[in-house]
Structures are given as structure tokens and as C-alpha cells.
Structure 1
Amino acid sequence: MSQSSDLSRLQTHDIEIGVTDALQRHASRHVAQHKPVSQRVLDYERRRPRWLRECIGEATGVFLYVFSGLASVAAFITNGASKEPPVTAFSSFFQIGLAFALGIMFAIVIAGPTSGGHFNPAVTVALTVWQGFPLKKVPHYILSQIFGAFMAALLVMGMYREQIVRYEEALTALGMPLVSATGPAGIFCSFPAEGQSMGYLFLIEFFVDSFIGLVIWSCIDPANPFVTPATVPIVIGVGYGVMVWGFADLTISTNMARDLGSRFVAAIFYGGEAFSYKSYCWISILVNIPATLFATGFYELFLRDSIQMIHKGGVKHAEGEEGLRRYLSDVGVLKDENEVTAMHMARTEAIGMKN
């Protein structure tokens, strides 16, 4: 009889509803509650300069992802000759790519809401060219990004100092250079391997950076139905990781700020050769910007659908409702210039309620 009663209740969903309610009550008892916001806090936040907050956000974001990535590189290089345990116990190219990918995800989640999450001078420049990011903010953003990478590299140098010194001593005893792709300076920035030509390295860097630029631009397209704000950090992080997994062994930089800020640290400890080695640094520092502009320009010219952006509420027509009505009339969507479709009215109302 009891079993029959339970089956009857199951058919009416009483059991499921009861369990769900119990779980919700249990979870709610353990949620930390924020204390009320005081007037002092509000006054402080109102007086806090917006430009300073954005710069700190950019520096923090770059710091987070460069710190994560360089730490994995340091583990890989300093233990490269290890036999017991083998080097794979410390790191690998896969782990390095994953460290950078997860670092970018954390950077976007933590600092993205504060500054917009550029974390790359090339992205800042592309946003200025294509989407009207204020030109006066560009120097502040780029300097902040470079500073964040510099601090990350400096901290990794300090935390791995004992291992790096032992590695330096081992290389010196063997008569091998400290500034090279596999030397301690290679922990902090990219150096070409023997036999690689500058033209070859330029093409690799250009197409790798273009790939990453396309991924980023598709993620910030409000009309893209496959990417939500919650998945943007994951998609961008994985896109970056894929390029590291595929081309890190061929020498790539991927980010002017990440390379330049870290290269300053390499120059402090290993001299000016960090910049002069095989005349490569101009590729690692500068190619990222034209490559990203190429990728974003390709997206803007061939893949962008502006009417979908307007429909999704991501942007407005430059001439307002009248300009949009005139365009829809010209393409035949509106038979009468004064007609406003029910879909557009519903969309406008929904946007207004959301705001």
C-alpha cells in the first residue's frame, strides 16, 4: 500500500517538488550575505577616478593571465633536463596553453567588468578603429597592460628565483647561452629557434594573432547567437590556448603587452640581448596590432550583420528610428514609410523594460 501511494505521489510530482524545495532551503541557509552599503563607501566610489579604475582593471587582467602562463613556462624550462621525475611531471606545451587559457578566463571574469577586458593593445586599437573607443584612453590602457605584464614577469622571476639560478649555473657550466628559446630568458618572452627566418616567423605570428582576433571579435558581436556573455571568457581562453598548443613550439608572442612587459624583465636580468637577439623582438612586439586589425577588418567587412545587431538591441541606427524606418522601407521590409512592424515594436518595448 505504501509503495502504491509513493507511485501515486510520483505521478503528481509531489516528491520532486518537495526535494527541490528542501534543497533550495538548505542552499539558501549557507549563502553569505553582503552587509549594507554605507554612505562612506558610496562617497569613496563616487570620488574614485574612473580612468584610474579602468587602468587598474587592465593591469590586473593582464597580470592574471601572464602570471598564470609564465609560471607554467618557468616550470617547464627550469625542469627541462630533469630525469626523476621526467619533465612531463612538471609541465608540457599542453599545460602551458591551458595555463594561459585559464588565466585569460580568470582575467575576463575578474577584471573585465571594470575596464571592458581588452588586455591586449591590439584589441584596444581595433576597438578604437571599428567601434569608437575613445582615442584619449588608448595610451592609458596600453601602458597599464604593459605594466601588468611587467609585474607578472617580475613576480614569477622572484618566486622561481632559486630554480632559475640553478638552471643558469647548469647552462653556464655547459657553455650555453642564457638568452635563447630554451634559456632562462625564454621563460619571460619569445625568442626564435636556430634556423628560423624572420619572414617565416612573421607569417606564423600574423596568422596566429589573426585567428585570436577573429575569435575575440565574434565573441563581442551581440548578434552572434552561439556566444553568451557567460561563455565569452571560455571561448576566448580556449581560442588562445588552441594557438599555443599548435604553434608555441614554432615561436609566437600573441600579445604586445604580454611580450613587451615581460621582455623588460628579461632585459633587467639578462641584458639588452633580450631585445637584440636575432633582431626578432619587432615581430613579437609589433605584428600583433596589424594582424588583429586585419582580422577585425575581415569580420567587419564580410561577416558583420548590422541589422541583426540592431534587432538584438546591441546598437542603434546612427539616425535613430527615422533612419531605421527609412532603411527598412528602402529594402522593402516596410511597405509604408510610416509603418512600424509589430516585431520591431515588441523588440523596442522589451529593450526598454530590460533597461
Structure 2
Amino acid sequence: MRRQSFCKGFADAGGHPRFCFLGLLLRQAERKSHVFGLSSVAQVVLGRGEFGQYLSINLGFGIGVTLGIHAAGGISGAHLNAAITITHCILGNLPWRKLPAYLLSQFLGSSLAAATIFGTYYGIVGNFMVTGPTATASIFSTYPHPCMSFDALSILVIHDEKNNGALKGTQALLTGILVLGIGLGMGMNTGYAINPSRDLPPRIFTAIAGWGVDVFTAGNYWWWIPVIAPTLGSLVGSLIYKLLIDFHNQSLLESGNEKGHLASLKHHWSKSKTLSETACPQAG
């Protein structure tokens, strides 16, 4: 009985009462989305460019996000990003009680992905440098370059059905292309510093695995930027979308519903009048 209650409570917190294994599914989706990205970084860094270039990293993360959404999109929405999940909670799209389950699954999945890549390439890593020409910590987390910036995500453009959103079968692919585009156009500054769930758990893992506290002190304690900045950027981007697009769509929808209601009343009145005249014909 207690186990049933626990499972139901965890499933409800995750957003789907029929799946007690939701946490596992979310974790596997998160792991799948990051394994492709982190492994592509590992090949480029460890192979010194012989087994891939920067484009390989972009494609790896894009493919990983696409597969992760396909794995869990129908159950949880497959946020795969703590910044997106927190933004949905702030905007009222997701109850706050579900936030811990989402974040826990995302963080565990990302940590498992880092452990998978570490185990796969353990014999090749060779050193535990955080910065410099032989650094390998960048395989798992992002580190600052001479300049940096952060970008708001445009997920709502793809998933908002009220604004000519993408067909459900294409949303995962288009989201993967979005991640690919961010990397191709704005990845030079910080790499893929757009996801706290992708950055913080692997950073903690690398600190434990041998890289030490340098993963947190590098770049003048830069580690907190990829945690806070994407969340703020996602919130600002979503608010801008709400103000400039979503509210406008709501007004058009309400206006259309009002016109439809008036037309329906007019039609009903005309029909009632016709029936009344037919039932009570005037004497000739």
C-alpha cells in the first residue's frame, strides 16, 4: 500500500498518473539526449580534430535532443532543460509541485550521460586538465572563452499550436534543428551553455571523477553562469513571446469566438422566426 502511494505520488509529481516508471523514462530520455552531444565533444577533443569538427558537436546535440523528445515528449513534454522547466512553472504552465521530479530526472540523466562518456573514453582521456591546450574537462561542461553571451530559447515558436505551430510529428526534429542552429550561429562564445541540466551535473561528476575543484574555480568561478543565465534568458524570451505574439493571438481568438457566437445567435433567431411564421400563417 505504501509502495503504491509512493509510486502514484511520484508519477503525479512527474505529470502522468499512469506511469510509476516516469522518473526512469525521463532520466533515460535526458541521458539519451546528452550522450550523443557529450560523445561528439569527446571525439573532437580527444581526436584532436581527426574524428570530427565543430559541426559534429552541433549535429550530435541536435540529434540527441530530437531523440530525447521522441522518447518522452508524449508523457512529460520532454523539456530536457531545467531553464525551460522553471520558466514553465513561473508562467503557470506547469505546477510547482512537479518541478522537483522534473529537475531530479534531468540531473540524474545528465550525470549518467557524463558517467557513460567517462567510462567509454577512460583509457583515452589521459589527463584531468580543466583549462589549457590539453584540457579535457570541456568534454563534459562549458567553460568561458574571451567573450560570452547567452540567448533566449525559441521553443514556443515551434510548440505553440495557437500560432501556427509545427505539426506534432515534426516538433522534435525542429527543436533539434533549433539546437543545431544555436550552436552554429552562437556557440563560439561559450559552447552550448544553454542548459543548466546539461552543464551542472556533469561538472559535479568531473569534480568527483578526478578534475577536482578547478571545474568550479576556472574562469573566475564562472560555473554559475551556465546555471543562471539560461534560466533568465529563457524567462525573458518567453515573456517577450507572450507580450508580442501570444497575447495578440488570444485577442484574435476571443474576437473570432465572439463573432462566431453572434453569428450563431443571429442564425438561431432567424430560424426561430421562420418556424414561427410557418406554424402560424396569416389569414388570406
Residue 306 (1) aligns with residue 250 (2): yes
Q: CA deviation at 1:282?
A: 1.2
Cα distance change of structure 1 residues 246 and 139 upon mapping to structure 2, 3 Å threshold: same
Q: CA deviation at 1:258?
A: 0.3
Letter in 1 for 2:141: C
Residue 94 (1) aligns with residue 46 (2): no
Cα distance change of structure 1 residues 339 and 62 upon mapping to structure 2, 3 Å threshold: farther
2:141 to 189, 204, 215: 189
Asked if the contact 1:57–1:112 (Cα under 8 Å) also holds between the matched residues in 2, the reply is no
Q: Deviations over 1:293-333 (max 9, x none)?
A: 0111111111111256x6xxxxxxxxxxxxx69x954xx66
Q: CA deviation at 1:135?
A: 0.6
Measure, in 2, the Cα distance between the counterparts of 1:298 and 1:120: 19
The equivalent residue for 2:188 is 249
Cα distance change of structure 1 residues 307 and 191 upon mapping to structure 2, 3 Å threshold: same
Asked if the contact 2:87–2:234 (Cα under 8 Å) also holds between the matched residues in 1, the reply is yes
Give the share of equivalent positions with the same residue, in percent.
23
The equivalent residue for 2:40 is 72
Measure, in 2, the Cα distance between the counterparts of 1:255 and 1:334: 45
Cα distance change of structure 1 residues 340 and 53 upon mapping to structure 2, 3 Å threshold: farther
Paired residue total: 250
Asked if the contact 1:181–1:190 (Cα under 8 Å) also holds between the matched residues in 2, the reply is no
Residue 60 (1) aligns with residue 28 (2): yes
* Matched residue SS, 2:78: coil
Extract unaligned runs of 5+ from structure 1. 1-42, 81-86, 169-176, 311-323, 342-355
Q: CA deviation at 1:262?
A: 0.9
The equivalent residue for 2:87 is 126
The equivalent residue for 1:238 is 177
Letter in 1 for 2:81: N
Structure with greater Cα Rg: 1
Letter in 2 for 1:264: I
Extract unaligned runs of 5+ from structure 2. 15-19, 269-284
Cα distance change of structure 1 residues 225 and 96 upon mapping to structure 2, 3 Å threshold: same
Q: CA deviation at 1:54?
A: 3.2
Measure, in 2, the Cα distance between the counterparts of 1:150 and 1:340: 62
Moved more, 239-248 or 258-267: 239-248
The equivalent residue for 2:130 is 179
Q: CA deviation at 1:266?
A: 1.5
Letter in 2 for 1:144: S
Measure, in 1, the Cα distance between the counterparts of 2:138 and 2:197: 16
Letter in 1 for 2:250: S
Runs (4+) off by over 3 Å? 46-49, 51-54, 332-341
Cα distance change of structure 1 residues 164 and 302 upon mapping to structure 2, 3 Å threshold: same
